[in-house]
Amino acid sequence: MNGRFPIEMHIMTLLCTADDYLSSDYMAGSINVNPVLVRKELSNLIKHQLITSREGKNGGYTLSKPATSISLASIYQSIKQGNVLGQAKNQPNPACPIGKQINNHLKDLDNEIEQAMLNKLGTTNLAEFCNKFD
């Protein structure tokens, strides 16, 4: 796993608690990662319509809708890639009866588990998450 979800959650929390547009450099300073990496996540969040941006001087980013209608599942969905339970690089041996079928069965299992995660993430929205902060 990489740090994309924590970074996106950090971005969304900052935007949720801010009362004006925030710049990528400001957010990078709070998260403490490279500003370009933050801007890549911001691009991704825009693509998924969770935030909007304003270019030029005094530009920045803001939530595209009320925090109460942004579920943590939708944030997770925006970064999800591959299998939650991991995936091996190599194809199992197709000459082996187990090897031939296991990827399908593991994929089914992965889908089930991912659904359970999403269900749980879907029970909390961004506003509720931000309320945990003093």
Report the interface residues with a second copy, using CB under 8 A: 1-7, 9-10, 13-14, 17, 29-33, 72, 76, 82-93, 96-99, 101-102, 105-106, 108-109, 112-113, 116-117, 119-121, 124, 129, 132-134
Residue 42 as a binder of DNA (CB under 7 A): the answer is yes
Give 7's contacts (C-beta < 8 A, 6+ positions apart).
Answer: 31, 33, 37, 38, 41
State in angstroms the smallest separation of the CB of 70 from DNA. Answer: 18
- 68, two tokens: 């109460």
Burial class (CB in 10 A: 0-12, 13-18, 19+), 51: buried
Contacts with DNA by CB under 7 A lie at 2-4, 22-25, 33-37, 39-40, 42-43, 46, 53-61, 88-90
